[in-house]
Amino acid sequence: MSFFATEVIDEEWGNYFELTGAGYGAIIALMLIILLAACFISGKGENKRFSTKQLVFSSMAMALAMVTSMIKVVDMPMGGSVTFFSMLFICLTGYWFGLRGGLLTAIAYGFLQLIVDPYIISIPQMLTDYIFAFGALGLSGVFSNAKHGLLKGYLLGVLGRYFFVFLSGMIFFGSYASAYNMAAPVYSLAYNGAYLGMETLITLILISLPPVNKGLARVKTMAVGESA
């Protein structure tokens, strides 16, 4: 692993890995492959391939999510934060383009987060915290065509992310639980639930407002080229 990442020994935070130039290059290459694959992977639905418009809207959503993820309303001490609606922008791609489009964009966003703000203690932890956790936001596409699809999809996407960060907290960071006299599962549920729950509540209030809801429905019409 030394070619792609180097180990850093830290008495306060524990040992972790920092990506090398080759590591960053590999991640960027994987992200580009995922985005390009969206152009060619066929599905069973009407939209069998990602169009140029879909790629543009998905890229815009990723960019907005990345920028708003840096606006931290609450920054947790051991990682995780309440951001300025960053998860919403990724969930929107599932609402627009369905499960396949949402998952592809969300996984690519996970790679982007890994490039910008990596914290790696092992390959399984990296996959769980970045690829699986952020990728789960694409589950919003399950309710793409359902009534109140954005609200339901956003909840499902966040629950999917919560599941993976809970696993990560319990398995890879459970040692911190003893400082709070908690069992590792309880600590992970509480810690990760605090920041994800707060952002989810604020976002649900926002998208439930009639003007916002109508505005997002119009954006979907622009994205898919048909009535939402």
Tens digit of pLDDT per residue, the chain (228 long)?
Answer: 566 667 666 555 555 566 677 766 776 676 566 555 655 554 444 455 567 888 999 999 999 999 999 999 999 888 899 999 999 999 999 999 999 899 999 999 999 999 898 888 888 898 899 999 999 999 999 999 999 999 999 999 999 999 999 999 988 888 888 888 999 899 999 999 999 999 999 999 999 999 999 999 999 999 987 544
Domain membership of residue 138 (yes or no) is yes
* CATH at 159: 1.10.1760.20
Query: CA 218, 219, 221: angle at the middle one, nearest 5?
Result: 65
Domain membership of residue 205 (yes or no) is yes
Domain membership of residue 117 (yes or no) is yes
Domain membership of residue 1 (yes or no) is no
Domain membership of residue 130 (yes or no) is yes
The Cα 212–Cα 228 span in angstroms is: 14
Domain membership of residue 2 (yes or no) is no
Range of the domain at 88: 52-224
Helices (H), the chain: 21-37, 52-69, 86-116, 123-126, 133-135, 149-171, 184-208, 210-224
* Total tally of structural domains belonging to the chain: 1
- pTM score of the predicted model: 0.81
Domain membership of residue 28 (yes or no) is no
Domain membership of residue 18 (yes or no) is no
